[in-house]
Structure 1
Amino acid sequence: MLKNTKNRGLSRSINKRQKIAIAGVTTLGAAALAISAVPGNATTTTAEAPAGKVAYSNEQIKDVKGSVTDQLAGEKVKAAEMAARHKAAVATAKHRAAVAHDKHVAAQAAAKQRAAKAAAAKKAAAERKAQEAASRSAKRAAVKPVAAKKSYANNLDGWIREALDIMKKHDIPGTYNGLHKNIMRESSGNPNAINNWDINAQNGVPSIGLLQVIKPTFDAYHVPGTAHSQYDPVANLTAAANYAADRYGSIDNVNSAY
Structure 2
Amino acid sequence: MSVSSIPGRRRRLNKTQKLSVAGISAMALAALSFSLVPANADPKPEAAAPASSEPAVFTSVAGTPQAKAVQASIIEQHSTAEQLVKAADLARAKEAAAAKAKAAEAAKIKAEAEAKARAAAKVKAEAVAAKRAETQAASRSEARTPVYANNLDGWIRESLDIMRAHGIPGSYEGLHRNIMRESSGNPNAVNGWDINAQNGTPSCGLLQVIKPTFNAYHVPGTSWNIYDPVANITAAANYAADKYGSMDNVNSAY
Normalising by the smaller structure, the TM-score range is 0.5 to 0.7
After superposition, the C-alpha distances for 1:230-253 in whole angstroms (9 at most, x for unaligned) are 222222101112223344443334
Counterpart of 1:207 (choices 191, 203, 209) is: 203
* Aligned mates of 1:248, 1:206 — CA distance in 2: 22
Note if 1:99 corresponds to 2:92: yes
Which protein has greater RCO, CA pairs closer than 8 Å, 6+ apart?
2
Note if 1:79 corresponds to 2:72: yes
Q: 1:97 is aligned with what amino acid?
A: L
| TM-score with structure 2 setting the length | 0.65
Alignment-derived partner of residue 51 in structure 2: 43
Does the C-alpha gap of structure 1 residues 74 and 42 become closer, same or farther in structure 2, counting only changes over 3 Å?
farther
Question: Deviation at 1:136?
Answer: 4.2
Does the C-alpha gap of structure 1 residues 185 and 125 become closer, same or farther in structure 2, counting only changes over 3 Å?
same
* Identity rate, percent: 53
After superposition, the C-alpha distances for 1:202-221 in whole angstroms (9 at most, x for unaligned) are 21101111111000111222
Question: Deviation at 1:102?
Answer: 3.5
Counterpart of 1:180 (choices 176, 180, 199) is: 176
Alignment-derived partner of residue 155 in structure 1: 151
Aligned-partner SS, 2:170: coil
Alignment-derived partner of residue 236 in structure 1: 232
Aligned residue pairs, count: 203
Aligned-partner SS, 1:68: coil
Note if 1:165 corresponds to 2:161: yes
Counterpart of 1:191 (choices 187, 193, 214) is: 187
Q: 1:244 is aligned with what amino acid?
A: A
Counterpart of 2:121 (choices 101, 125, 128) is: 128
State the Cα RMSD in Å.
3.2
* Aligned mates of 1:109, 1:72 — CA distance in 2: 54
* Aligned mates of 1:203, 1:138 — CA distance in 2: 58
* Aligned mates of 1:156, 1:95 — CA distance in 2: 104
| TM-score with structure 1 setting the length | 0.64
Aligned-partner SS, 1:130: helix
Question: Deviation at 1:161?
Answer: 1.3
Does the C-alpha gap of structure 1 residues 86 and 167 become closer, same or farther in structure 2, counting only changes over 3 Å?
same
Aligned-partner SS, 2:108: helix
- When Rg is computed on C-alpha atoms for both structures, the one with the higher figure is 1
Does the C-alpha gap of structure 1 residues 112 and 214 become closer, same or farther in structure 2, counting only changes over 3 Å?
same
Question: Deviation at 1:42?
Answer: 6.5
After superposition, the C-alpha distances for 1:110-132 in whole angstroms (9 at most, x for unaligned) are 22321221122012112112213
Does the C-alpha gap of structure 1 residues 247 and 89 become closer, same or farther in structure 2, counting only changes over 3 Å?
farther
Does the C-alpha gap of structure 1 residues 92 and 207 become closer, same or farther in structure 2, counting only changes over 3 Å?
same
Question: Deviation at 1:92?
Answer: 2.3
After superposition, the C-alpha distances for 1:57-78 in whole angstroms (9 at most, x for unaligned) are 9xx57x53xx527976455333
Does the C-alpha gap of structure 1 residues 172 and 120 become closer, same or farther in structure 2, counting only changes over 3 Å?
farther
Q: 1:188 is aligned with what amino acid?
A: S
Give the helix-richer structure, 1 or 2.
1
Q: 2:100 is aligned with what amino acid?
A: A
Question: Deviation at 1:141?
Answer: 5.2
Q: 1:181 is aligned with what amino acid?
A: R
Q: 2:223 is aligned with what amino acid?
A: A
Unaligned runs of 5+ in 1: 1-40, 46-55
Aligned-partner SS, 2:61: helix
Q: 2:229 is aligned with what amino acid?
A: P
Q: 1:193 is aligned with what amino acid?
A: A
Does the C-alpha gap of structure 1 residues 159 and 135 become closer, same or farther in structure 2, counting only changes over 3 Å?
same
